[in-house]
Structure 1
Amino acid sequence: MNPSFPPAFPFTALQGQSLLQMALLLTTVDPLIGGVLIEGPRGTAKSTAARALAGLLPNGHFVNLPLSTTEEQLVGSLDLEAALQSSEVRFRPGLFARAHEGVLYVDEVNLLADGLVDLLLDVCASGINRIERDGISHSHPARLVLIGTMNPEEGALRPQLLDRFGLFVRLEARLSPPEREAIVRVRLAFDADPIAFSRQYAANETALAARIAQAQALLPSIAFDDLSHAQVAERCYAAAVEGVRADLVMLRAARAHAALAGRAYMEVVDIEAVAELVLAHRRSSQQQPPETPPSHSNQQPQPEAHSNSDMENWGALPPETPPITSVKSLRPLPTKKV
């Protein structure tokens, strides 16, 4: 801890954000899950949670990616003059190198250039950053926890980019009075004396950091068994997701969940715990799968079931009309008997 800076808010002291905490821990155990996208209005502790997570990691790296970042600043650069004169490849590290084994945080990722978002997700999914310039190449490991945040009022990510984020968490703007009170109490206590407050949670933080390290060591030994494959395939088919990225992410996330629980095998409960984090931003609202495989179904197609859930409608562009108040489901008017 740098004595000239106050400590980060303890991860184990976060209140009312259990789903977000789980998503962040899963991605920390297995960064190849592909990062976490957090949607929520201002003041919902998005950046606080990200900084708190970095405090659990051995090196504590927390790298913020500004919206003005260029590709060279992100991936790094090669000194071509040195390569030509002395045949020596000199690499100037970028943000990927700085964030290795740490947290790379992108606030308002929906406002970042699409090309940079693509690049972020490519490196996050592979764990390797590659730089090629005029026939000269360099690569280095970049296993990092990517955390992107967005406020839906400021625009949405294109569906193609949205799908590439591993996990998705939507934070509620409206909290119950007990939740608000708990959050405010701990925040005021932290602001009054950050060092004393952090000491109260030091044992919990140490225990959680050890649990993460143990889960990372256990992770490679956990097999993707036949039952897990079948369970995941059924859930992704029922959600009518496109492609198989959701299947891959769900299996990885379920395995990380099992590792955090200290188990050397996966269970259905692991899949159930992570399914909505994987499907919330991928579920198709335009197409519902048939109840039986198409080759065996002779039934007429049923009307599409509509949901008022924002999670299920994620990815659809909003119509450009004035705001509409919520409407309850309509019932058909009674018909008169003749």
Structure 2
Amino acid sequence: MSNVTTQEEQSRPVFPFTAIVGQEEMKLALILNVIDPKIGGVMIMGDRGTGKSTTVRALVDLLPEIQVVANDPFNSDPQDPELMSQDVRERVQANETLEVASRKITMVDLPLGATEDRVCGTIDIEKALTEGVKAFEPGLLAKANRGILYVDEVNLLDDHLVDVLLDSAASGWNTVEREGISISHPARFILVGSGNPEEGELRPQLLDRFGMHAQIGTVKEPNLRVQIVEQRSQFDESPAEFRSTYLVSQQELTNQISAARARLKDVTINYDLRVKISQICSELDVDGLRGDIVTNRASIALTAFEGRTEVTEQDIFRIIPLCLRHRLRKDPLATIDSGDRVLEVFKRVFGYEE
């Protein structure tokens, strides 16, 4: 196992997550989604060259290990029937002993030109008719089950494909139908999209399906810019050496994420805070209840990440712009950033003096 990782690192080394300077909002949103995948993914919008793809790909190193059924193309969970493929479920019902393996949470890149067959998988009709078996060639959604699906330039992706992705992300299942043959498999993944606002906005109903929305801009501070350029040069010259200097901090963050995942179920958020979250969503005229649900989940994940078990007002203050800003109705005449609008209402509801 370790040998494989070494070969991967030699072929395509990844910039260490803990070495990334700035962009705290994006890093926090990604970490919280790894802690609680039910938050519903992240949409990262920002200028070109701000490290969006670098940061998402750097996340791979931090991902904790999960238990999977060995040699199963869907990363089936050996314990949870909801996360098992049909084949594994039938084996469990037949009281077969499953071989279990540990594997790092996978991250799958969705190329821009991907076809629906490549994403969803294909059914081999000829084999099905001649041999009488359901011959299914799994796609990217199968590979991404219980992992992360990353779509760079999501605003350039074909609308039909975006709909397919969001439907799978929401339902947790992918169904492929062809010539009267239907195959379903679990497809629970964290959807991470990135894009540049100059290349077009996402439709509001698609944007709403992303749990969190991180906005990032170009670093303005000259000293920080110099630090980023130096780091990049060092990494390009000697990736292995550069990565080795961040081994300890990377491992510490991985441990922190694993501990937070285990702590999630112990975190509580009192009724008064939940009412205030819903009051903020109501005053901002947020459609539906996704905003309320995501804000609750993200504040619980943040509390777990910081090693606590009781959500505070400050936790909500830190994450609520990321959970609600993309759900506000666009006002072309507005002079205030949508995230600032969220915080204004937060301060009013929580009784802070301006």
> Would you say 1:275 and 2:281 are equivalent positions?
no
Q: Tell me how many residue pairs correspond in the alignment.
A: 297
Cα 1:224–1:149 change in 2 (3 A) is same
Asked if 1:15 is matched to 2:52, the reply is: no
Give the distance between the partners of 1:87 and 1:186, measured in 2 at CA: 57
Aligned-residue RMSD, C-alpha: 2.4
Q: Does 1:307 align with 2:342?
A: no
Letter of the 2:243 partner, please give it: S
Higher mean C-alpha deviation, range 101-110 or range 119-128: 119-128
Match of 1:298 in 2: none
Within 2, Cα distance between the matches of 1:244 and 1:272?
A: 19
Matched, 1:28 2:45: no
Q: Note the alpha carbon deviations across 1:128-157, whole angstroms, 9 max, x for none.
A: 333334444333333323211111111111
Cα distance change, pair 137–2 in 1 and its aligned pair in 2 (3 A): farther
User: Aligned-pair distance for 1:45?
Assistant: 0.3
C-alpha contact (below 8 Å) 1:34/1:164 kept by paired residues: yes
Q: Is the 8 A contact 1:37 1:167 kept in 2?
A: yes
Aligned equivalents of 1:228, 1:88: Cα separation in 2: 54
Task: State the TM-score, normalized to the length of structure 2.
Answer: 0.77
Provide the rounded CA distance (Å) in 2 between the counterparts of 1:176 and 1:148.
27
Q: Is the 8 A contact 1:32 1:124 kept in 2?
A: no
Equivalent residue in structure 1 for 2:122, among 77, 100, 104 = 77
Q: Report the alpha carbon displacement of residue 311 of structure 1 after superposing the two structures with TM.
A: 4.7
Q: Give deviations 1:28-83, integer Å, cap 9, x for gaps.
A: 11222221111112110011001100121232633221221122211112233444
Give the alignment partner of residue 111 of structure 2, picking from 52, 56, 66: 66
Gaps of 5+ in 1: 288-304, 315-338
By percentage of residues, which structure has more strand? Answer: 2
Question: What letter is aligned with 2:32?
Answer: L
Amino acid corresponding to residue 304 of structure 2 in structure 1: A
Shift of 1:285: 4.4
Q: 1:266 to 1:129 in 2, by over 3 A?
A: farther
Does the CA-based 8 Å contact 2:219-2:225 persist in structure 1? no
Equivalence for 2:142? 97
Q: Partners in 1 of 2:308 and 2:176 — Cα distance? A: 38
Question: Contact 1:16/1:183 (CA < 8 Å) preserved in 2?
Answer: no
Q: Distance in 2 between matches of 1:115 and 1:313?
A: 32
CA contact (8 A) 2:25 2:216 kept: no
CA shift, 1:240, in A, is: 1.8
Q: Conserved in 2, the CA contact under 8 Å of 1:6 and 1:195?
A: no
Q: Over residues 191-226 of structure 1, what are the superposed CA-to-partner deviations in whole Å (9 max), with x where a residue is unaligned?
A: 121111111111111111122122222223434542
* Alpha-carbon distance in 2 for matches of 1:141, 1:93: 11
CA distance in 2, matches of 1:312, 1:116: 32
Give the corresponding residue for 1:39: 45
Aligned equivalent of 2:202, options 135, 157, 161: 157
1:1-338 matches, within 5 Å, as 1-3=5-7, 4-57=10-63, 58=65, 59=104, 61-223=106-268, 225-286=270-331, 306-309=334-337, 311=339
Pick closer, same or farther for the CA change 1:260–1:278 going to 2, 3 Å: same
Secondary structure in 2 matching 1:106 = strand
Instruction: Between 18-27 and 264-273, report the one with greater CA deviation.
Output: 264-273
Cα pair 1:44 1:173 within 8 Å, conserved: yes
Shift, 1:94, TM fit = 0.6
Q: Residues 44 and 214 of structure 2 are in contact (CA less than 8 Å); yes or no, is this contact kept in structure 1?
A: yes
Alpha-carbon separation, structure 2, partners of 1:131 and 1:213: 34
Residue 224 and residue 126 in structure 1: after superposition, are their counterparts in 2 closer, same or farther (change >3 A)? Answer: farther
Tell me the secondary structure at the aligned position of residue 280 of structure 1: helix
3-state SS of the aligned residue for 1:55? helix
Confirm or deny: 8 A CA contact 1:285 1:312 kept in the other structure.
Answer: no
Alpha-carbon separation, structure 2, partners of 1:130 and 1:262:
39
Cα displacement (A) at 1:269: 2.4
CA separation in 2, counterparts of 1:109 and 1:91?
27
Cα distance in 1, alignment partners of residues 219 and 308 from structure 2: 36
- Report the more deviating stretch, 271-280 or 137-146: 137-146
Please give the alpha-carbon distance, in whole angstroms, between the structure 2 residues aligned to 1:118 and 1:226: 35
Q: Structure 1: which amino acid aligns with 2:60?
A: A
Instruction: Provide the C-alpha distance between the structure 1 equivalents of 2:320 and 2:260, rounded to a whole number of angstroms.
Output: 20
Q: TM-score, normalised by structure 1?
A: 0.80
| Distance in 2 separating the partners of 1:83 and 1:139 | 16
